Structure 1
Amino acid sequence: MEHRIIVAGIGPGNPDFILPAARAAVEGAQVLVGGSRALADFARHGQETMTIRGDIAAVLAFIKEKLQKTHVVVMVSGDPGYYSLLDALRREFLPQMLVVIPGISSLQMAFARLALPWHEARLASFHGRVPQPEEISYKEGALLGLLTDRTNNSRTIPLRLMELDWPPSAELHICSRLSYEDEQIIHTTLGEASAAPEISHGILVVKA
């Protein structure tokens, strides 16, 4: 039988939030690929591992080599379907070689913490990219869920939104370290964001 790549979403970070199917795949893996934090949390003695860093081509080459002998489990944070290594895997391997186990995304976690339904929210990422204006433009009653990074953070993004006609009074919820013991959620407004701590690599929820 042809070996498969099992892409396992491991949730927002805290191991309590990984789905049982993903945990079983990770624990049963002979070859395990993931970020350094994920490997520190989940790798077991005897597993062959590779750390995902900046060289994605090297990671893909490692996976291709190991597939000749066994299945390979690739851990991705959050849910594999939202800005993860799954894109690169689909470009390199046929879809039928991939088995994807979903996970709880940081965006899901943020909306859950705020007790906010998110079926009408627009989701966008400022993590290593900048959304097009139409993705994040103001509309009455709008709700946004946004990924951030070091450059596009809890202070710079509110300025960008106000340039796109979002009112300074719009609610801003700055979420960081979700699911961990030091989780923090700051409730403020776009206009007051500059007075709040600067948070990168988190989630912003903006409500008109």
Structure 2
Amino acid sequence: MTKRITVIGLGPGDAGLLPPMARQALERAKAIVGYKGYIALLEPEILEGRQVLSTGMTGEVERCNAAIDLALSGVETVVVSSGDAGVYAMSGLVLELLETRGLLDSVDFEVVPGIPALCAAAALLGAPLMHDFAVISLSDLLTPWELIERRLAAAAAADFVVVLYNPRSGRRTDQLPRALAVLASAKPGTTPVGLVKRAFRPGQEVIATTLAALDVEAVDMQSILVVGNSATRMAGSRMLTPRGYAGKYALAKCGEAAGS
């Protein structure tokens, strides 16, 4: 009897961006486990006829253990996350629990990648991640704030584009202003900033602003912030972080040659 647990990323939430391999895993599954908000992103026909187990935001350990128990009983089980399952999501916790419970050799563990939120946000903003970037979560529920601040300062000092996950929630309102102050110590106030809310979901918002002008009240838990580096600029209404082609090639002449 196969005992398998598959952790998948649903992508940003639009059904058209659900990866084919993830869809195949869902169609193969007999049980689907996940945070209730992510379960709601799935099409009703995918859920039909399958055992569905969902919990709230702080029920991660409970639902992952329940998913492992289902897999142990021979039920083909899928754990769902939004975005990519390996980016601030459930693949790490499932693997850690399998290790803790001594089940690494007893349960097949599979991860199917998805489109992470930072890629969805970048696509809507234009091309802000064309050069080196750092991704930092502002949630201090599992990570000490002092460590988050050190990472922010290091990324800003190294002139990375900085992507901020979990920037602000109803309870966590102080962290974002503090994080922006750290970034502003090394980046000018004119640095372009992209704010994307609910990327590829109903209620989507895409806002281009600057580090000094960002309205923190407009940011929520379903937001991704992209803070540019020293080369990032606006190209029309889009953010652009040049890769460096202009320094190596005569871009205008390339265009003239193509059009001649």
Which piece of structure 1 moves more, 180-189 or 135-144? 135-144
Aligned to 1:142: 160
1:198 alignment partner AA: A
4+ residue runs of structure 1 moved beyond 4 angstroms? 152-156
Structure with the largest fraction of helix: 2
Aligned to 1:52: 55
Deviation at 1:174, TM superposition (A): 1.0
Aligned to 2:33: 33
Deviation at 1:101, TM superposition (A): 0.5
Question: What is the aligned-residue RMSD (CA, Å)?
Answer: 2.3
Contact 2:34 2:63 in 1 (8 A): no
Q: What TM-score comes out, normalization by structure 1 length?
A: 0.87
Q: What TM-score comes out, normalization by structure 2 length?
A: 0.71
1:63 paired to 2:67:
yes
Aligned to 1:76: 81
- Alignment partner of 1:85 out of 82, 86, 90: 90
**Structure 1: gaps of 5 or more residues:** none
Deviation at 1:168, TM superposition (A): 1.4
Which piece of structure 1 moves more, 184-193 or 93-102? 93-102
Contact 2:4 2:74 in 1 (8 A): no
Aligned to 1:115: 126
SS at match of 1:41: coil
Deviation at 1:119, TM superposition (A): 4.7
Flag the 1:35–1:125 CA change in 2: closer, same or farther, 3 A. Answer: same
* 2-structure distance, mates of 1:140, 1:69: 49
* 2-structure distance, mates of 1:18, 1:127: 26
1:133 alignment partner AA: R
Which piece of structure 1 moves more, 72-81 or 26-35? 26-35
- Alignment partner of 2:182 out of 153, 157, 160: 160
**Structure 2: gaps of 5 or more residues:** 99-103, 230-260
Using the aligned pairs only, state the percent identity. Answer: 23
Contact 1:136 1:144 in 2 (8 A): no
* 2-structure distance, mates of 1:45, 1:165: 52
Q: How many residues align?
A: 206
When Rg is computed on C-alpha atoms for both structures, the one with the higher figure is 2
**Partner deviation per Cα, 1:51-81 (whole Å, 9 max, x = no partner):** 1322333213312321112221011111011
